Amino acid sequence: MRDHDDLTARQRGVWERVAPRYDDSMALFERTWFGGGREWLGARAHGRVLEVAIGTGADLPHYGADAVVTGVDLSPGMLAVARARAAQLGREVELVEGDAERLPFPDASFDTVVCALALCSIPDPVRAIGDMHRVLVPGGRLLLLDHVGSTWPPLRWAQRLLEQVTVRAAGEHFTRRSRPLVERAGFAIEEAVRRKAGTVELLSARKHG
């Protein structure tokens, strides 16, 4: 548990440092690598929505009017940016500081859980997906967007090399894949989309009723 807590504390420190400049640093990637991904998530999120690792709130403009959004994040700095974005959008959002692996919500609290570009750096993605399953109502929907190991072997090899730096520096993985973990947690896959030589994956899955 001590090692896990140390990893979580390290991740909090990483996000606290980058929070003020995160949106600027990601702007090019958002357009060229993940373009359309956040819109894809927002179009499928309905009812009581929990966004895990909401970060700076980049998904907030894409949720429909019927979505009642709660966001949780490890970093107070990220939440401060998300709060400012919500105010600018005129959108009411409940923002909570918390750990994706120990979500501070009761069982069966949400109709939809969203997680975008975060499972790549959460220390224990198995535990995080399990807790997302726990807080969803029976029949609830899980929506994920992340970068994953490429379907093209030369690019996947390059991703493994890159991880030698990024995992140590920021806990960020490039060859993780969420789909097997989602299926193992008891979800049924509804939609699965791979883009950009398979390096970007979008998933929609249902918790069994």
Location of structure tokens 């390059």: 158
State which H helix or E strand residue 191 sits in.
Answer: strand 187-195
pLDDT digits (tens, 9 = 90+) for 11-70: 998 899 999 999 999 999 999 999 999 999 999 999 999 999 999 999 999 999 999 999
All domains in the chain, ordered by first residue: 2-207 (3.40.50.150)
Locus of tokens 């090019």 = 28
What does the pLDDT read at residue 147? 96
* Segment holding 126, helix H or strand E: helix 125-135
Confidence (pTM): 0.96
pLDDT tens-digit readout, 107-127: 999 999 999 999 999 999 999
> 17 vs 10, 11, 33, 124, 206, CA distance in Å?
11, 10, 23, 21, 35
Between 131 and 209, the higher pLDDT residue: 131
